Each structure stands twice: as C-alpha cells, then as structure tokens.
Chain A
C-alpha cells in the first residue's frame, strides 16, 4: 500500500482533458514539492512536472500540475493516444522513516 494515494485508472477520449489526483499527508505533500512521472509501456519513467507545477524543457504545456494542502493534481489537456501510460506522483516524506515516496500509479487510457 502506497503512502500517496492515486486512482488506479482514468480514461478519456482523444482531445479531451483528464486529471489525476495524488493524496498524501502533512509529512509528505503538505510540506514538500510534488513531481509527476510518465511511464510509457516498457520504458523508464520520465519527469513531467517538478516543484508542484513546473515543466522541464521539452514537456508540452498540455501537461500541468497543482498542489493544495496535502493533495496534488496532474492535468492533461488535448489528450493524444500517445499519452496512454502510467502516471506516478512522488515527493519526499519527512516522517520517522524519511524517504522518497511514490503514489501507486494511475493507468491512463485514451479511448
């Protein structure tokens, strides 16, 4: 069971918008930056969003991130079939067993 909670799956049609939530606590999301990762089938994860809402160079502005309290959200607009992937949120957890934590992952299906 992951420290950060994500929905197992989301789906939407091409061209539509989807959001993926990531819920945590004050020891992780509430007091640390959140980042988001995309993992296409059979490949290594790739950084999509860092410091809650910043995009690395080369990531299109169709991808956005936000954070409020102990939750974070990844938004994807103008969905493309190439966006079908697993998406993970991640952050530092500063509890007694301090370490980096990931959400369980969300499988995005573009119908």
Chain B
C-alpha cells in the first residue's frame, strides 16, 4: 500500500530554516511527483509546490519563491522540503502528498509535520 511517512515535529526560531522529509513506499517513486501543502492552525490548505521525482523539475508557489527548495533522493525514495527565513506565520502542519503530474489530483497524503516558529 502507498505510504508517505514524514519526519517529526520541529520548533524553530524566526529567521532559521527547517527541512522536512517524506519517505515514500508502496509504489515506484520516480513515476510520480510530490507536492507539499501546509495548513496553518485553524486555516485551510495552501499548496507550496511540486517536484517531479523522475527528473527533479520543480514548480513553486509564487508566494514562496526564493524561500523554499524541494528535492528528492531516488536512492531512498525520499522527498525533502526546506523552508528558509522562517517567520511566525510559517507555523503550520506541513504535508507531503503524491501527485503524478502537477495538474492532476493529489491522491495520497503523509501524516503531516508540525513546524512551530517561535522566539
């Protein structure tokens, strides 16, 4: 069965960086892409970007351009999302999710990683 298992909760200070991992199993990793979606406390879903696990092509949300980097390690079927220059409004649950192509549906989600930004 498809599984996306994310790394644990993080607490960071404003200005720091965070890197969240997402280990995939149960499917051919390079046949799909990975999207990252975040959800601030009590708020809706916000798409952050998508990366192709086949060739590493990325498509980032305009709002996060320059602060976010998404990568994959095909040898371990793991995707990573790094967010830099953290601010308090980056406090959210971050989800990785499988998405074959960036314009198609997101079909499986990780369990989420809470990132708290606080001084």
Most chain B CB within a 10 A radius of its CB, from A45, A51, A56, A94: A45
**B24-32, B72-80, B81-89, B104-112 - the one binding chain A:** B104-112
Write out the residue numbers on chain B whose beta carbons fall within 8 Å of the beta carbon of A86. Answer: 44
The answer on a CB contact under 8 Å between B109 and A56 is no
Within 8 A of A (CB), among B59-103: 59-62, 95, 97, 99, 102-103
Min Cβ gap A32→B in Å is 6
> Are A100 and B95 in contact (CB-based, < 8 A)?
no
CB distance from B104 to the nearest CB of A (A): 7
Q: Are B103 and A92 in contact (CB under 8 A)?
A: yes
Q: Digitize A41-53: 1 where CB-to-B-CB distance is under 8 Å, 0 elsewhere.
A: 0001111001100
A–B pairs, 27, beta carbons within 8 Å: A32-B103, A33-B103, A33-B105, A35-B106, A44-B111, A45-B106, A45-B109, A50-B104, A51-B105, A56-B107, A90-B47, A90-B106, A92-B104, A94-B103, A97-B62, A99-B47, A99-B59, A99-B60, A99-B62, A100-B47, A100-B50, A100-B99, A100-B103, A100-B106, A101-B47, A102-B45, A102-B46
Residue A24 CB within 8 A of the other chain? no
Please state if A92 and B102 are interface contacts (CB–CB under 8 Å).
yes
User: Chain B residue with minimal CB distance to A94?
Assistant: B103
Q: Which residues of B contact A100 (CB under 8 A)?
A: 35, 47, 50, 99, 102-103, 106
Task: Using CB atoms and an 8 Å cutoff, list the residues of chain B in contact with chain A.
Answer: 35, 37, 44-47, 49-50, 59-62, 95, 97, 99, 102-112
C-alpha spacing A102/B61, complex, angstroms? 12
State whether A44 touches B112 (Cβ < 8 A): yes
Q: Which residues of A contact B (CB under 8 A)?
A: 2, 32-33, 35, 37, 44-47, 50-51, 56, 86, 88, 90, 92, 94, 97-105
Min CB distance A42 to B, Å, is 10
**Residues from chain B with Cβ under 8 Å of A92 in the complex:** 102-104
Separation of A78 and B20 alpha carbons in the complex (Å)? 39
Q: With CB as the reference atom, state the residue of chain A lying closest to B107.
A: A47
Most buried by B among A2, A86, A92: A92
Chain B proximity of A24: nearest CB distance (Å): 14
- The answer for the CA separation of A89 and B46 in the assembled complex, in Å, is 12
